[in-house]
Amino acid sequence: MRSLSAVLTVVAVIVSFWYAACIPMNIKGVLTEAERAGAVVVPEGARERRDLGTFGLVMGNQFAIPATWAQERPRLPAPHQVVVELWQTTVMKKITSKRSLVHHAWVTLSATLLGFAIGTGLGVLLAVGIVHSKVMDMSVMPWAIVSQTIPIIALAPMIIVVLYSIGVQGIIPKAVISAYLSFFPVVVGMVKGLRSPDAMQLDLLRTYHASRAQGFWKLRLPASMPYLFASLKIGIAASLVGAIVGELPTGAVAGLGARLLAGSYYGQTVQIWSALFAAAILAGCLVGVLGLIERVMLKRMGMAR
């Protein structure tokens, strides 16, 4: 309960800081608009104001402060503008509409989930191979670890274009990017997990005359679950980033990445921020769902901490 109030306090501080930041960020644009509308602004003329500090402008034109929170295309939209935009583009629009954020989020989410499923499946398979074969361990594992230190997302534009040129388009190219981004964290985490039973436990199974397969199903696989979930959470976040970045280079028309790109082309800051928050909410939900599954599953397996 105390943590909750602390979290709420921190969030409240962030939001109020955001509101405060809107004033200096937007003041110049607001003053220009106000002057055009006939208000008296100190000093007059956009050119005189250009080189002045924003703080002095705010002090000299205090009447303009409320307007900084209600501009149509602000440099920094106020929190309530973003919330209103989110509400209007999710709840108020029909889901089938091209302007509905739910529609765009679904486009991105479907690619993310498909890619995540492929990447996780292949990753687990490779991890099983690595644990059971010394050759694979020695040849593949170093590369899997190195791949964590390089920005493999830089491959994304090329994958999109190459797959497009051989006639594959739509959800698949984005899913491929999501898949390989979630693949490596899962491999590394799963190998760690499958190796986590200690010598004592392995010896016990040997005294039971357990076969290798039995050892895998009854000891290694259950013991790897906490590690698997830890890397799944990293993997799904990476998958989502992959799907969003995958929408950038081709100028896709649908998806959260497309909304970000369109917003940045047309200076629709509120649209960018609402797409950003939609992506954040989506990521939060995905990680949260995985956390929930993890908790229920580990509890039923008797491994809950």
Partner 1 sequence: MMLVVFAFVLWVFGWWLNVRLANGPVADTKVVQLAVPVIFGVTVLLVWELLVRGLQVPLVILPTPSMIAARFAVSTSILWADFLQTFIKGALSGYVIGGVAAFLMAIAVDRSDFLRRGLLPVGNFVAALPIVGTAPILVMWFGFDWHSKAAVVVVMVFFPVLVNTVAGLRETSTMQRDLMETYAASYWQGLFKLRLPAAMPFVFNGLKIATTLALVGAIVAEFFGSPTVGMGFRISTSVGQLALDMVWAEIVVAALAGSVFYGVVALIERAVTFWHPSQRG
**What are the residues binding partner 1 (CB under 8 A)?**
2-3, 6-11, 14, 75, 134-135, 137-143, 146, 148-151, 153-155, 157-158, 160-162, 165-166, 233, 237, 240-241, 244-245, 248-249, 256, 260-261, 263-264, 267, 269, 272-273, 275-276, 279-280, 283-284, 287
Closest to partner 1 by CB, 154 vs 213, is: 154
Q: How far is the CB of 234 from partner 1 (least distance, A)?
A: 8
Closest to partner 1 by CB, 90 vs 108, is: 108
Closest to partner 1 by CB, 43 vs 284, is: 284
Closest to partner 1 by CB, 19 vs 222, is: 19
Q: How far is the CB of 125 from partner 1 (least distance, A)?
A: 18
Q: How far is the CB of 40 from partner 1 (least distance, A)?
A: 29
Q: How far is the CB of 104 from partner 1 (least distance, A)?
A: 13
**Secondary structure string (H, E, C) spanning the chain:** CHHHHHHHHHHHHHHHHHHHHHHHHHHHHHHHHHHHCCCCCCCCCHHHHHCCCHHHHHHHCHHHCHHHHCCCCCCCCCHHHHHHHHHHHHCCCCCCCCCCHHHHHHHHHHHHHHHHHHHHHHHHHHHHHHHHCHHHHHHHHHHHHHHCCCCHHHHHHHHHHHHHHCCCCCHHHHHHHHHHHHHHHHHHHHHHHHCCCCHHHHHHHHHCCCCHHHHHHHHHHHHHHHHHHHHHHHHHHHHHHHHHHHCCCCCCCCCHHHHHHHHHHHCCHHHHHHHHHHHHHHHHHHHHHHHHHHHHHHHHCCCCC
Closest to partner 1 by CB, 118 vs 279, is: 279
Closest to partner 1 by CB, 61 vs 239, is: 239
Q: How far is the CB of 78 from partner 1 (least distance, A)?
A: 14
Q: How far is the CB of 218 from partner 1 (least distance, A)?
A: 27
